[in-house]
Amino acid sequence: MNTAGSTKIADIKIDPNNLYKEEAFTDLTFATIRRLTPVKIDSSPDESREPIFTGMTQLMSPNGPIPVQCLIEGAKTLSEAVDKLPAAIEKTVHAMIAEAREMERQEASKIIVP
């Protein structure tokens, strides 16, 4: 089934100038940090670009765990990423809550009372 605007498999292309090697670090308790290290097409490090760090954790809710993923902005090393992870998670959770409230507000405005 092909719908308007859908991507065909033949259209999927990897950008050889935007490749990263992925490594995961975890404390086996609360969080995982991924380091995406820029590489060239021959897999050698691409020193012209900075690594990207992301964080992942789960928050418990009455309905079960909620996965949270975030970009750890400004981290250049794993040590910096570890230090900045709590603030990055908090920022992302606040954004998720704001988005949920906005969705709830939009849904409430659609209700028509006779």
Domain boundaries, the chain: 14-106
pTM for the full model?
Answer: 0.79
Nearest to 76 by CA among 110, 95, 52: 52
pLDDT on residue 1: 45
- Strands lying side by side in the sheet with 31-39: 19-26, 31-39, 52-61, 64-71
Six-digit token pair at 82?
């570890």
For a pLDDT cut of 70, what percent of the chain falls above it? Answer: 92
pLDDT tens digits along 50-81: 999 999 999 999 999 999 999 999 999 999 99
DSSP calls for 66-90: EEEEEE-TT--SHHHHHHHHHHHHH
Residue ranges, the chain, pLDDT below 70:
1-5, 111-114
